Amino acid sequence: MHAQPASPEHLLALARQVLDIEADALHALSARLDAGFADAVNLILACSARVVVTGMGKSGHIGSKIAATLASTGTPAFFMHPGEASHGDLGMIAHDDVVLALSNSGESNEIVSIVPLIKRRGAKLIAMTGNPASTMAREADVHLNAAVDKEACPLNLAPTASTTAALALGDALAVALLDARGFSADDFARTHPGGSLGRRLLVHVRDVMHTGDALPRIDCDASLKTALLEMTQKGLGMTAVVDAAGKVAGVFTDGDLRRALEHALDLHQARVTELMTKNPKTIRADELAVAAVEKMETLKINGLLVVDAHNTLVGALNMHDLLKAGVV
């Protein structure tokens, strides 16, 4: 079959038609939701084990994504291929599990054939189908109606609107469960430690700040020369200026040096307290690193001093540290 080039107008019109059909399907699904949805959520909340998601073909691909979303939002879940279930994987299902089975027709042989075995193991069954009169719908403890009027495929054959509806209904389940469990941003970060979301939610200022010998600091009576040497050695483009008790009196930065050069100051005799920025912006060690990013961007600065509740210097960091930590 030889494909003919299509005009941009035709392609855009077809794309919009697909999106409109799928959007209409979701609106209809929303309007049709009933107490069965709440029953499904409460059944899973009462589950002391896991949610086992299963589906064949395109429904299986959607089911796999639903399982991943559930697992990442506080509901232990995994995907089981129904074709493999009858060849040993049924052993994955325990008495206290809930099985979420997806099938648009509700008559998928691979799933229908294992329904009696699921029930025999004592697990509860939630069926998500497009046919409330189907075998799966009748046998389920809870049925979720994901029916659509038509597929977005011009032939009304390829699973399109139906898979979108099932995916969205799965997301609705996951979000409802997340809310019911009081799942927080910190909880979310703990299930995503390797990604940028986890880094933004898990990395704190204390994890990236410079401390000890790597912390640039000088006393209030230090000379400008001493300040420049400290900045050069520590490489942060700034140094904290502290009093005898270790409390922050100011900060001296590259910017302060440039401003000093614009004035007729005797740089050999000047004390750092004459040139430093007094009452500098600071941050606490227990704040999220992303908060440091936001503060620096808002104030248009490249570094921050880290202090405790008594304004005692405990660390310092700059934008490069946050870039290396992956929170920018």
Domain identity same for 242 and 277: yes
Mark whether 52 and 179 lie in a shared domain: yes
Residue 217 and residue 298 share a domain: yes
In a domain, 198, yes or no: no
Question: Per the structure, how many domains does the chain have?
Answer: 2
For residue 179, being part of any structural domain is answered with yes
Query: Do residues 260 and 275 lie in contact, with contact meaning Cβ atoms separated by under 8 Å?
Result: yes
Domain that holds residue 124: 8-183
Say if residues 137 and 146 touch (Cβ distance below 8 Å).
no
DSSP string of 134-164?
A: SHHHHHSSEEEE---S--SSTTS-SSSHHHH
Res 216 pLDDT > 80? yes
Q: What is the pLDDT of residue 186?
A: 65
Residues 151 and 226 in one domain: no
- Once rounded to an integer, what is the mean pLDDT over residues 261-277? 77
Indicate if 80 and 211 belong to the same structural domain. Answer: no
Give the model's pLDDT for residue 183.
Answer: 77
140 in the same domain as 26: yes
Mean pLDDT of the 138-149 span: 97
Whether 124 is covered by a domain: the verdict is yes
In a domain? residue 2: no
Quick check: 129 pLDDT over 70? yes
> Which of 183, 213, 241 marks a domain boundary?
183
Do β-strands 248-253 and 277-278 pair in parallel, antiparallel, or remain unpaired?
A: antiparallel
Cα(271)–Cα(220) distance, integer angstroms: 8
Residue 200 counted as domain residue: no
CATH of the domain at 315: 3.10.580.10
Residue 237: CB partners within 8 Å, gap ≥ 6? 231, 253, 254, 302, 303, 318
Beta bridge partners of 248: 242
Residue 188 lies in a domain: no
Within-domain flag for 194: no
DSSP 220: T
309 class by beta-carbon count within 10 Å (0-12 exposed, 13-18 middle, 19+ buried) = exposed
Distances (CA, A) of 171 to 15, 164, 179, 205: 24, 11, 12, 33
pLDDT score for 187: 65
Query: What does the alpha-carbon distance between residue 172 and residue 164 come to, in Å, rounded to a whole number?
Result: 12
Q: Check pLDDT > 60 for residue 30.
A: yes
Tell which of 131, 149, 183 closes a domain: 183
Report the DSSP beta bridge partners of residue 21: none
Sorted by sequence, the CB contacts under 8 Å of residue 154 that are 6+ apart come out as 14
pLDDT value at residue 192: 55
**CA geometry: angle 117, 96, 183, nearest 5 deg:** 130
**Per-residue pLDDT reduced to its tens digit, 73-104:** 889 999 999 988 877 788 889 899 999 999 99
Contact between 166 and 128 (Cβ < 8 Å): yes
Q: What single DSSP character describes residue 266?
A: -
Contacts of 90 (CB under 8 A, 6+ apart): 114, 117, 118, 121
Q: Say how far apart CA 225 and CA 242 lie, in whole Å.
A: 16
Give the integer Cα–Cα distance in Å for 269 and 14. Answer: 76
Sequence-ordered alpha helix ranges (H) in 279-318: 289-299
* 150 in the same domain as 80: yes
* Statement to judge: residues 174 and 269 lie in one domain: no
User: Are 176 and 37 members of one domain?
Assistant: yes
164 and 242, same domain (yes or no): no
| Mean pLDDT of all residues in 239-256 | 92
> What sign does the CA torsion over 141, 38, 98, 26 have?
positive
Do 149 and 13 share a domain, yes or no? yes
Q: Residue 68 belongs to a domain with what CATH number? A: 3.40.50.10490
Q: Are residues 61 and 158 in the same domain?
A: yes
Range of weakest confidence among 227-236, 256-265, 272-281, 288-297 = 256-265
226 belongs to a structural domain: yes
Question: Residue 195 above 60 pLDDT?
Answer: no
